[in-house]
A and B are shown apart, each in its own frame.
Chain A
């Protein structure tokens, strides 16, 4: 959303235009949910997002556009989620659960660090082609669900929501090095799933 589009949307929101709120919700709810999910987990994410929306409405008049609308909404969401979770804040769990198709681990390399067998070419190498098969989509969803909540959240915030690593650190209160580790482990498991599916034609 450009600055100009954002300003226009804000004007309509402040007038209480319902359609403007619908656009706001449709555009940002996904990202807000992903942030809430990362902080409070699946059980309380929806409640945290509800809290966040109410806080957004309460603070809309005071929003001075010093940050982008998206950043502002996600900061409010993170705060709402943290408030909900104050009693027992989650520790940063770097737990690495095994992926359904493993990862790209040590067993792929010789002792000198070379590939034992390099990655094979994929039949399909565009997202559209890969996702055109329903079984592949389901397989990938399954892998995403097998990740720890934090690992999955970080992956989705980065790839799907396009946040910078720094933004993820700030929203989730985790260090840059932890974000990097979480992201890398998640990506390798996704990679292993795509590779497995390409090789065997099944999940």
Chain B
């Protein structure tokens, strides 16, 4: 049986579907019985989504760059 510590160590691989079928089943089985780890994984997913939702630095001047690229294309 997987311990909580081992589950946490495998959590990213679980979320990224990098575990073998056997490992995946061990994680699932642990989650059935462990509310702490269920909460941990849920919060890991929230953390992933939060990084995804963090606003990206905007392109400084995309208009000028676009003009330049269009010009380069015509000159090429």
Interface residues, chain A, with chain B CB atoms under 8 Å away = 13-14, 16-19, 21-22, 24-26, 29-30, 53-54, 56-58, 60, 104, 106, 108-109, 112-115, 118-119, 121-122, 125-128, 130-131, 137, 140-141, 144, 155-156, 158-160, 162, 165, 176, 180, 183-184, 187-188, 190-191, 194-195
Contacts and interface: CB of A to CB of B under 8 A. Distances in A.
Interface residues of B, number: 43
A58 B65 CA distance: 15
Main secondary structure of the interface of B (DSSP, over half): helix
A118 to B, nearest CB: 3
- Pick the 10 closest A-B CB pairs, nearest first: A113-B3, A118-B36, A21-B66, A184-B12, A22-B66, A127-B53, A113-B5, A127-B50, A109-B5, A159-B51
Contact of B65 (A25, A109, A122, A187): A25
Contact of A183 (B5, B12, B36, B59): B12
Contacts of A183: 12, 16
Given A137-B54, A194-B46, A21 B69 contact: yes
